[in-house]
Amino acid sequence: MLRHGLRTAHDALDASVSRFDLTEIDGMIAFLRVQEAALARLPMSQASGPTAAAIADLTERARADLQQRGVSCLQIESPDLSRLHPLAVDYVIGGSRLGAEVLQRRWASGRAAELGVGGQYMSAPRYIDIWRDFCASAADISGGTPLARRICGDASDLFALFETAADRSFEERQEYV
Ligand code: HEM
């Protein structure tokens, strides 16, 4: 259900975030600004304990990496995400950790990694239990139900938040030495 319903949204986000070359300093900094801006605007009150802890840790790590380079955080509007279903937050954060390994490998082979740019964020725990627990919960939800539609709708709102941050960071990207 979610995988199919959101495949297009994920692929668009993947393409959007892939505009940032994680091997280069400016690409990695622009990526960190995306992560910090979107993660900092996620409604912790709507997240399960482990997911809230992961969000707090990843936000802090991205912020610390930006501060280390003297770069300010991205300013984007905060959409009203106060009524999100917790399983939608678990899905997006848990799922994003599947891709994090791909991104970590891209980063690890480059100059940014050599200089430690993004080191805190890229050395974060895998948090794969969030995805496992989500899959276990989602297995009990049949597709096409009002709950399934709600979670799908809320997850696409979260993808849209990351997409907005990616577009803004891309517009604001600059050379960092
Ligand atoms: C360049 C950026 C990205 C890459 C290369 C990437 C890559 C991946 C990969 C390889 C998977 C596993 C696919 C599978 O097992 O079928 C995945 C799943 C997922 N990613 Fe991404 N991802 C990226 C960005 C993002 C972002 C920014 C988010 C959200 C914040 C995100 C959320 C998810 C979710 C929710 C899933 C689970 C999809 C599902 O199975 O339903 N991804 N990603």
| Cβ–ligand 1 contact at 104 (below 6 Å) | no
The residue whose CA has the least distance to atom 11 of ligand 1 is 99
Backbone angles phi, psi at 67, to 5 degrees: -60, -40
Confidence of residue 166 (pLDDT cuts 50, 70, 90): very high
Q: What DSSP assignment string belongs to 117-150?
A: TTHHHHTS---HHHHHHHHHHHTTS-TTSHHHHH
User: Mean of the pLDDT values across residues 8-16?
Assistant: 90
Q: For 104-121, write each residue's pLDDT tens digit.
A: 999 999 999 999 999 999
Model confidence, pTM: 0.93
| pLDDT for position 62 | 98
The distance of Cα 28 from the centroid of its chain, to the nearest Å, equals 14
Confidence of residue 7 (pLDDT cuts 50, 70, 90): confident
Q: Residue 123 Cα, ligand 1 centroid: separation in angstroms?
A: 18
| Cβ–ligand 1 contact at 118 (below 6 Å) | no
| pLDDT for position 73 | 96
130, 83 Cβ separation under 8 angstroms: no
Which residue from 8, 13, 22 has its CB within 8 A of the most atoms of ligand 1, so it is best to mutate?
13
| Cβ–ligand 1 contact at 116 (below 6 Å) | no
| Cβ–ligand 1 contact at 96 (below 6 Å) | yes
pLDDT at 1 > cutoff 70 = no
Domains of the chain are 2-171 (1.20.910.10)
Share of the chain above pLDDT 90, in %: 79
